[in-house]
Amino acid sequence: MVGMRERYGINPNKVVISRAVFLSNIAKEIFYYTDLVREGSILCGKCPFCLGRATLIVAPKKKMFYCIRCHEYGNVVYFVSKVRSARLIDAANWLLTEYKF
Ligand SMILES: [Zn+2]
């Protein structure tokens, strides 16, 4: 049986991931893994990937992170999947469970 999502070419995993990105607080999530200091509209901290001091930049309004040393960047789902060595869909589901959505 072909469901509506398959019929219209919408990948259910992409929907879940987009929802988790939209609903999650990226600064709060990254703060679980590294200390962040607010600097105006962004937050800075130690990068958990390259361990660069104060090289990780988090932009809550853009819902993105970026490291000026190792150049890792992405959204909260990518961050959680990378830091926990998990699939994107699993990271998205963890975030949605945490937020009770
Ligand atoms: Zn880095």
Ligand 1 center–CA 13 separation, angstroms: 27
Region for residue 6 given its phi and psi (left: phi exceeds 0; alpha: psi -120 to 50; beta: otherwise): alpha
What is the pLDDT of the chain when averaged over all its residues? Answer: 92
Whole-model pTM: value is: 0.88
Ligand 1 center–CA 46 separation, angstroms: 8
Give the pLDDT of residue 76: 98
Contact 65, 74 (CB under 8 A): yes
Ligand 1 center–CA 12 separation, angstroms: 31
What are the tens digits of pLDDT across the range 77-87?
Answer: 999 999 999 99
Give the pLDDT of residue 4: 54
> Could you tell me the domains of the chain?
4-98 (3.90.580.10)
Ligand 1 center–CA 47 separation, angstroms: 5
Higher-scoring residue by pLDDT: 7, 60: 60
Q: Which of 5, 4, 10, 21 is nearest to 96 (CA)?
A: 21
pLDDT(7) > 70: no
The stretch 71-81 carries a mean pLDDT of 98
Ligand 1 center–CA 25 separation, angstroms: 20
